[in-house]
Amino acid sequence: MNLSKSEKIIFSILGVIGIGIVCNKVIYPGFLALKEGQSQNIAKDFVQEDFVLPLQENLQKSGFDDINVSINTFKTDISFENFREYDFDVVISSKKIKEYEDIADDEKKAEKLYSIMEKMSNKFENGYSDYSKRIAINEDINANIEYTGNLSLEIHNDEHKYVFYNGPCFNALDMDLKTIYVVHEEDSPACHLNDNTDYSNQKKDEVLNNPDVEGPTLGSYTDGYNAIVEDEEYDLDRYQEDSEYRKGVDDAMEELDEYY
């Protein structure tokens, strides 16, 4: 087919426009996505070396030599020009924790696991729970990285979840959202206790509802829990600012989710 000069010019123009559209809609976005993925991978590798592996080694020294720490979620919160902000969470797991699956009926096992997780929790909260780093992705991009996980220590295996709560009024060990061991901090200035009452063997809910126990932590947990169970809504500002209120909300939502 022979084209006239004007037709050739028109087809050339349309070809240039087509190439431009393909570049703008496909190639360039793909290039940006690739660059973003590379930046996130660099940040994730940094977290693995700087946070995950040291935490795993630290926790192993406190109890279980098979503790494994892995990145659970890693997301980009902000991606703007030469700045990135990443948040991440981790999951801590152990196969050896199966040795404690009957601790609900064995107080000695419960006490032993509580003691191990208390040591782990102290290391975890003192050294890692407020983790925040600023790194250079490359010569053009800087990034803030923050750990956004719950301040409580959680350990999972294939069937169960064990959670250690550390508060100014009491410490508790939960298995699958049920409290199995409580140690009350009687010497804590944050709590005013009836000296004639022994709380050490009481369930967490019994401690929370006891009128002889005062203190913002206990009330905050109950408020958060009841906000979901009774009112089906919670105070977002308080959820963000009050860790015990947040624990109560999260526990209630997990229980309701499992129920339905």
Q: Express each pLDDT in 5-59 by its tens digit.
A: 565 565 555 555 555 554 454 443 443 445 677 889 999 999 999 999 999 999 9
The count of other CB atoms within 10 Å of the CB of residue 12 is: 10
Distance between CA atoms of residues 110 and 72, nearest Å: 27
pLDDT tens for 201-259 read 444 455 444 444 443 344 577 778 778 877 778 888 888 777 778 888 887 787 676 44
Q: Given this model, what pLDDT does residue 169 score?
A: 73
Yes or no: say if 44 and 71 are a contact pair by the CB < 8 Å rule.
yes
Q: Given this model, what pLDDT does residue 29 score?
A: 43
Both tokens of residue 190?
A: 């944050």
Distance between CA atoms of residues 21 and 19, nearest Å: 5
Taking alpha carbons only, the member of 78, 80, 56, 76 closest to residue 68 is 56
Yes or no: say if 76 and 35 are a contact pair by the CB < 8 Å rule.
no
| Residue 81: Cβ-neighbour burial (10 angstroms; 0-12, 13-18, 19+) | exposed
pTM equals 0.60
Instruction: Give the pLDDT band of residue 176 (cuts 50, 70, 90).
Output: confident
Contacts of 206 (CB under 8 A, 6+ apart): none
Place of tokens 């250690």: 164
Q: In one letter, which amino acid is 42?
A: I
pLDDT tens for 76-104 read 888 887 899 999 999 999 988 888 878 88
Distance between CA atoms of residues 182 and 169, nearest Å: 11
